[in-house]
Amino acid sequence: MRSLLRFLGLSDSSGSHYTPPAHAPTIIGAGMAIKGEIKGEGTVALLGSFEGDIVLEGTLHVGPNATVDANITATAIVVAGTVRGNLSANTRVEILASGSLTGSVRSGSFTAADGAIVKGDLWVEPPAAAVPSA
């Protein structure tokens, strides 16, 4: 029955439903439009619109109604909205079912849910292992 409801678009129990992180110390609200640069540490939930560059030592969450036109470098990137730009993540890039990405991705892991839109180049390679010093 759940499969039928998902097929008809009446239920989303596929695990790709977006829930904003409750622990995000930085939230850019749905009514905000920002141009510039975001640089810092921690988790950021972007629910509005942003244009510029993002450099983050942490996880970036792009909400389902958010629009981002940026080059993004972060530990992990989760996209439920619309992103245009180049993405680089140390651990993972995840495009949820409501997400759309146009640009390039370079990451150690990449997943795109059924229904996600992805247009661009993709490089998936594990991060370089640290060379032990003698």
Q: Phi, psi (5° rounding) for residue 14?
A: -80, -5
Q: What is the pTM of this model?
A: 0.81
- Is 30 domain-assigned? yes
- Per-position b or e across 58-72, b if 16+ CB within 10 A of its CB: ebbbbbbebbbebeb
- Is 129 domain-assigned? no
Q: pLDDT-derived band of residue 118, with 50, 70 and 90 as boundaries?
A: very high
Query: Over 90: is that where the pLDDT of 29 sits?
Result: no
- Is 39 domain-assigned? yes
pLDDT at 109: 94
Residue 100, domain extent:
22-124
- Is 2 domain-assigned? no
pLDDT tens for 33-90 read 999 999 999 999 999 999 999 999 999 999 999 999 999 999 999 999 999 999 999 9
pLDDT at 74: 97
Total number of domains in the chain? 1
- Is 12 domain-assigned? no
Helix (H, G, I), strand (E, B) or coil at 3: helix
